[in-house]
A = this chain, B = another copy of it.
Amino acid sequence: MSIRVAIIGPTGYTGLWLIRLLQGHPEVELTYLASHREQLPNIAEEFPVLVGRCDMDCRPIDPRAIAREADLVFVCLPHRAAMNHVPALLDAGLRVVDLSADYRLADKVLYEQVYETTHTDPRNLTRAVYGLPELVDRRRIAEADLVANPGCYPTGAILGLAPLMQRSLIHPEEVVVHAASGITGAGRAVKPHLHFPEQNENYGPYAVGAHRHQPEIDQALGWVRGQPTGVLFVPHLLPIDQGILETIYCRPSDDQVTEEDLYEGYAQAYAEEPFVRVRRTLPNVKQVRDTNFCDVAVRLVQGRVVVIAAIDNMVKGASGQAIQNMNIMFSLDETMGLW
């Protein structure tokens, strides 16, 4: 069986990574690239790395035409734009993995506050399944028409914190997530502060306490705990292409807990997970580069719990996780095409 796949908005970095990864997937045929640009680009002219491997021309975003040629569509549009297209895609019979933020926050009011816009598709907002397979019931993903692919920072933060919260090993209200990301995480749109000489040899914080991924992290951890929670999330930019590393500082709920107890909590939580590696040694971003792994390690120092979680923001943090979701939706081996 071969899944026929379309991508809407393939000219961003997540689109490029979907194409690269899908080319190594034995059960996928990429049939349709759809762009909202007026001048429809050839994808290999847009990304010369694809010359000779994927020379497809982009076509208009026509849900019915897409549905004739595809079973599943990855939506790689910016937030706000995605929800303008998703209803028609679903109506045309397509299954959708949306890589934007538009269906990640189940609470419409919260979404509108965080993204400063009206949510125009509330009906599907409640139907969307949050596609973090290690966190949600995989059967829900398997049956979903619409999967909201998680944000990059939330993926690492949630996988790093969920075992501790599930096991009530930490004070849930005193968590600090110090996050650092490579610059593809900021997207392909040109901005003055992302001009090469501004970021090269640089490192620093941004959006302190005001990043849109924070409510997404809080929502998922609220599910885990069964009640609202709130972490302090502080993102930083790293002068590298790919990679997120989150250093998470917590207070243990029990003074008697040992580092080995904490390690065991992770080991148990992720015993069956193909893409989470519970590490004894300290992770870094290079050890997960170009992979769909999330590396996690935990330390107990000076009465504090320190968790390190590392992912590749383009793979487990975006396009790789989207394919992981697709594999689940189509009952394939979850790791297919991902290593």
Contact = CB atoms under 8 A, between A and B. Distances in A.
Interface of A: 13, 23-24, 26, 48-49, 51-53, 176, 178, 180, 182-184, 188, 190-192, 194-206, 208-210, 230, 232, 234, 236, 238-243, 245, 247, 249, 274, 277, 279, 281-291, 293, 295, 299, 301-302, 304, 306, 308, 310, 339
Contact of A184 (B176, B192, B197, B310): B197
Given A24-B339, A26-B26, A285-B203, A209 B239 contact: no
B282 A206 contact: yes
Given A24-B339, A190-B192, A234-B306, 14 more contacts: A49-B288, A49-B291, A52-B274, A182-B201, A194-B196, A196-B239, A203-B284, A204-B284, A205-B245, A208-B306, A209-B299, A209-B304, A238-B238, A239-B239
Contact of A183 (B194, B197, B287): B197
Nearest to A13: B197
A203 B180 contact: yes
Copies held by the complex: 4
Given A232-B304, A291-B49, A286 B201 contact: yes
Nearest to A201: B240
Contacts of A188: 195, 197
B190 A195 contact: yes
Contacts of A183: 196-197, 200
A286 B191 contact: no
A194 B194 CA distance: 9
A183 B209 CA distance: 28
26 contacts: A24-B24, A49-B287, A51-B287, A52-B277, A53-B339, A178-B178, A188-B195, A190-B191, A190-B192, A190-B195, A194-B195, A194-B196, A196-B196, A196-B199, A201-B285, A201-B286, A204-B245, A204-B287, A205-B245, A205-B284, A205-B306, A206-B282, A208-B282, A209-B301, A232-B302, A234-B306
B306 A201 contact: no
Given A195-B195, A287-B49, A299-B209, A249 B236 contact: no
Given A24-B339, A195-B196, A279-B48, A243 B286 contact: no
Name the residue in A49, A285, A310 with the highest tally of chain B Cβ atoms < 10 Å from its Cβ. Answer: A49
Those 9 A-B pairs whose CB atoms lie nearest each other, nearest first: A204-B284, A209-B301, A202-B286, A48-B287, A183-B196, A196-B199, A201-B240, A178-B178, A49-B287
Contacts of A52: 274, 277, 293
A118 B202 CA distance: 39
A203 B53 contact: no
B339 A284 contact: no
